[in-house]
Amino acid sequence: MLVLPCHMRGASMSRAQRISRGFHRLAILLAAIPLLIGGSWALVTGFNRAGDASRDHQKVLCAHEYLTRARDQPKPNYKLLFAPDSELLNLKEIGCSYYEHDTVSFGEAWNPPQFNWLSVLAPTLAFNFAVVLAVSLGVYGVIRAVGWVIGGFAA
């Protein structure tokens, strides 16, 4: 049988080290759960918010097309053409929405803003992922702290 000198043998871990290593593994496992679930939630809510913003933008574009068609009529509706920019246009009345309370200002309808998915999606995802990461790190830290306390008693 081959016997290695003591400096070449793997030093056996103390009981406190084994407990600490076990809690480290447990902490990683338990921190991964909110990371996976929360990451999925962050993606879903981010894309839902971007989709809602896109639908709202489509309503504004519909109002813009309506006003453009009204302007190009042989007998234009001057009430629509010369309405103040701050006055609200009911989108259901012009066929751009199914909801009674959807409105847009005439100024926004005449000059619709450009829509960019990334400008809506990125801040939402950044905030949601920051919250999810903070929760996961909190879970990891709590489990590790419990492991240090129990490992300290075992020593």
pLDDT computed for residue 7 by the predictor? 54
pLDDT in tens, the chain (155 residues): 566 555 555 556 677 777 778 888 999 999 999 999 999 999 999 999 999 999 999 999 999 999 888 888 888 777 777 888 888 888 898 898 888 888 898 888 888 889 999 999 999 999 999 999 999 999 999 999 998 888 777 65
73 occurs within a structural domain = yes
Whether the CB-CB separation of 90 and 102 falls below 8 Å is answered with: yes
Tokens standing for residue 58: 């489509």
- Burial of residue 86 (number of CB atoms within 10 Å: 0-12, 13-18, 19+): exposed
15 occurs within a structural domain = no
8 occurs within a structural domain = no
111 occurs within a structural domain = yes
> CA 6: distance to chain centroid?
55
pLDDT computed for residue 49 by the predictor? 95
- In eight-state DSSP terms, residue 23 is H
pTM, rounded to two decimals: 0.71
Cα Rg, the chain, nearest whole Å: 31
CA-CA distances (angstroms) from residue 99 to 22, 58, 103? 56, 14, 9
Number of domains in the chain: 1
> CA 31: distance to chain centroid?
19
pLDDT computed for residue 59 by the predictor? 92
1 occurs within a structural domain = no
**Domain extent for 145:** 30-154
47 occurs within a structural domain = yes
